[in-house]
Amino acid sequence: MPFDFAKCLDDGRHLQAQRASDDALLQFFRREGASMFESVRLIQQLKAITLSEAQALVHFSTTWADQREGHEQLQDTFAEALLQLGGVEVKNSTEHEGD
pLDDT tens digits in sequence order for the chain, 99 residues long? 689 999 999 999 999 999 999 999 999 999 999 999 999 999 999 999 999 999 999 999 999 999 877 767 777 776 788 788 876 665 655 555 445
pLDDT at 58: 95
Say how far residue 99 (Cα) sits from the centre of its chain.
20
In a domain, 14, yes or no: yes
In a domain, 82, yes or no: no
| Domain with 20 in it | 5-65
- pTM value is 0.73
Q: CA 99, CA 96: separation in Å to the nearest integer?
A: 6
In a domain, 97, yes or no: no
Domains in the chain, number:
1
pLDDT at 29: 97
- Sign, Cα dihedral of 57, 55, 69, 12: positive
Under a CB-based contact definition with an 8 Å cutoff, are residues 12 and 28 in contact? Answer: yes
Alpha-helix runs per DSSP H in the chain: 5-17, 22-31, 36-47, 51-59, 68-84
In a domain, 94, yes or no: no
